[in-house]
Chain A
Amino acid sequence: MKKIAKYSFIVLWSLFVLAPLSWALTTSFKPPAAVNNGVTFIPWLQFQPTLNGWKDILGISGYANLIPNMINSIIITFFATLISVVFGGAAAYGLSRFQYGWKKYKNPDIIFFFISQRIMPPAVLAIPFFLLLKSLKLLDTHIGLILVLTSGLMPIVVWLMVDYFNQIPKEIDELAMLEGCNPLQAFSRTILPLSKPGITVASLFSVIFGWNDLFFALVLTFTNVKTLPAAVVALNGTITPFWTLSASAIFAILPLIGLAFVAERFLSKGSLTGANR
């Protein structure tokens, strides 16, 4: 009886997780009739799959081409993550190994100050960032969006990485320094290899949040630099048939689904634990 309840929960939940994705996937292969004349679910049985939706978004039929947007998204996410992890990681190492502070405000307060940046809804930040980027002539450029996204991703990286560095015993870098390393060498030769799982998890989160950002992309970039989510939402705004929309949606989320496998691998090693302390 208990087993039945358990497994029915698992099956129902898995179906719920898969349902929207499979609906989008099947819809992307549907011919117009299969969408407009009632609801169909099963390919080959209820309709004959076509590639028209995919041709529409890959620039083959001349309707829209999302590949440049995909490249924009990859460039922006990559560099925003790189900057966040390099500088955020350095900040986290400093906060984990050295004492900073002014009067009673110490390292934990600094870390909380970092993460509190994320409480702010992006709508509050949109106007200041818009004016800032306008005066720097960085509106609608890769660099502008990368910098703005970095400001949102860095807090997550610092917050996650401090925990990882705290888990590595201090004796290790003290030993390295006794052996004649300066602090920078101690960091790069001993701590960096040890904190690889932490770096991976932090990069994973910043890739997810960076890739999925829509708000800043909509406000700060227009035509030259359009990210993939922004382009898909723009397609949604015009009269685009559902099969093309579904294909674009699958196209936009496909790159990140692969990351679920990476996340699971690090979870099995138990190295995601830092996220909780």
Chain B
Amino acid sequence: MANWNVSNSGLDFIGGANWVEMFQDGDFWSSLTRLLQLSFFTTFIQYVLGFACALFAWRGIAARKFFRVLWLIPMMTTPSVMAIVWRSIFREDIGAANGILNSLGIATVSWSTSVGAAKFTILLAEIWQWTPFMFLLLLAGLLSLPKEPFLAAEIDGASPWRTFWRITFPLMAPISIGAIIIRLIEASKIFDSVFALTGGGPGNATETPAYYLRTVSLTEFQISYGATLGLTYLVVAIIALTIISKVLAWLARSKGI
């Protein structure tokens, strides 16, 4: 920090102030950690569900073509528009979610004022929207796998479970890593669902960096401070993604995949 002031004080004092302000800005850093949790959770769940769907739509169930189209539909819908639909579902008094819960005999949940419930709604909307993306990439990967290893496994009499862990999963590792990285990149930009669903609330419990950046630069018009945050965010995102991709590649190699 001291070093940093020395090198910059002669150039532009305001610029230095922006950086100091950023390091003391608790809202910004907590929005970053929140994003970290959120994107890890959603990507992991999307990966597991997307893989399951892709396996079923690959072979093994009837009417595969029908389910492939059906499961792709959420990806085609506009996230900002779907967020409005989700908001109407999670309305406390006249929304579908509480309607279903009440008819099951569960008490009304206050979706927008409780922190846990607000996070849950965003999680649910994100999973609904983007699992099909994972599904599409993984299914495309499954369809392009060579047939020979599966024939060999069948001849050897391997159980489906064993075939999956010993053949399908290892063969899919590169594709999985690619899909996870793409999803993490897109998940790090999560904005639409926060904007329309919770507006960052209650308080700022669901504020993500993209949302906070917009608040700072476009509603408070602190444009230079917004640029400072944007630059920092970009650097953090690139470092994090590089580390994650390196770790995933290392995991894949160490398992001998």
- Distance A20 CA – B210 CA, assembled complex (angstroms): 25
**4 nearest A-B residue pairs (beta carbon):** A39-B99, A124-B230, A273-B144, A123-B213
Contact of B79 among A122, A212, A263 (CB under 8 A): A212
Enumerate chain A residues within 8 angstroms of B85, measured Cβ to Cβ: 20-21, 23-24, 246, 249
B16 contacts the other chain (CB 8 A): no
**Chain A binding site: helix, strand, loop or mixed by DSSP?**
helix
Range for the number of chain A residues in contact with chain B: 35 or more
Report the minimal beta-carbon distance from B102 to chain A, rounded to whole angstroms: 8
A122/B191 in contact, CB under 8 A: yes
- Distance A208 CA – B129 CA, assembled complex (angstroms): 13
Chain A contact residues, CB within 8 Å of chain B: 6-7, 9-10, 13-14, 16-21, 23-24, 27, 35-36, 38-39, 41, 116, 118-124, 126-127, 208, 211-212, 214-215, 219, 228-229, 232-233, 236, 242, 245-246, 248-249, 252-253, 256-257, 259-261, 263-264, 267-268, 270, 272-273, 275-276
B168 contacts the other chain (CB 8 A): no
B76 contacts the other chain (CB 8 A): yes
Closest to A13 in B: B53
A9/B52 in contact, CB under 8 A: yes
Contact of B65 among A6, A36, A264 (CB under 8 A): A264
Enumerate chain A residues within 8 angstroms of B231, measured Cβ to Cβ: 124
The answer to whether residues A121 and B82 also contact, given A38-B94, A127-B217, A257-B77 and a CB cut-off of 8 A, is: no
- Distance A270 CA – B56 CA, assembled complex (angstroms): 16
In the complex, the number of residue pairs spanning A and B with C-beta atoms less than 8 Å apart equals 193
A121-B191, A276-B178 known; 20 new pairs, CB 8 Å cut-off, are: A6-B56, A7-B61, A13-B49, A21-B73, A36-B94, A116-B238, A123-B218, A127-B226, A212-B80, A219-B218, A233-B84, A233-B196, A242-B94, A256-B78, A261-B69, A267-B68, A268-B65, A272-B136, A275-B140, A276-B144
Contact of A124 among B60, B95, B179, B233 (CB under 8 A): B233
B234/A253 in contact, CB under 8 A: no
The answer to whether residues A260 and B76 also contact, given A123-B217, A276-B137 and a CB cut-off of 8 A, is: yes
B82/A253 in contact, CB under 8 A: yes
Enumerate chain A residues within 8 angstroms of B99, measured Cβ to Cβ: 38-39, 41
Closest to B80 in A: A214
- Distance A275 CA – B134 CA, assembled complex (angstroms): 12
A253/B81 in contact, CB under 8 A: yes
B86 contacts the other chain (CB 8 A): yes
A17/B70 in contact, CB under 8 A: yes
Enumerate chain B residues within 8 angstroms of A248, measured Cβ to Cβ: 81
B96/A39 in contact, CB under 8 A: yes
- Distance A156 CA – B95 CA, assembled complex (angstroms): 37
Contact of B76 among A38, A39, A253 (CB under 8 A): A253
B73/A260 in contact, CB under 8 A: yes
Report the minimal beta-carbon distance from B220 to chain A, rounded to whole angstroms: 13
The answer to whether residues A118 and B185 also contact, given A13-B49, A229-B80 and a CB cut-off of 8 A, is: yes
A121/B136 in contact, CB under 8 A: no
B88 contacts the other chain (CB 8 A): yes
Closest to B176 in A: A276
B188/A121 in contact, CB under 8 A: yes
Report the minimal beta-carbon distance from A268 to chain B, rounded to whole angstroms: 7
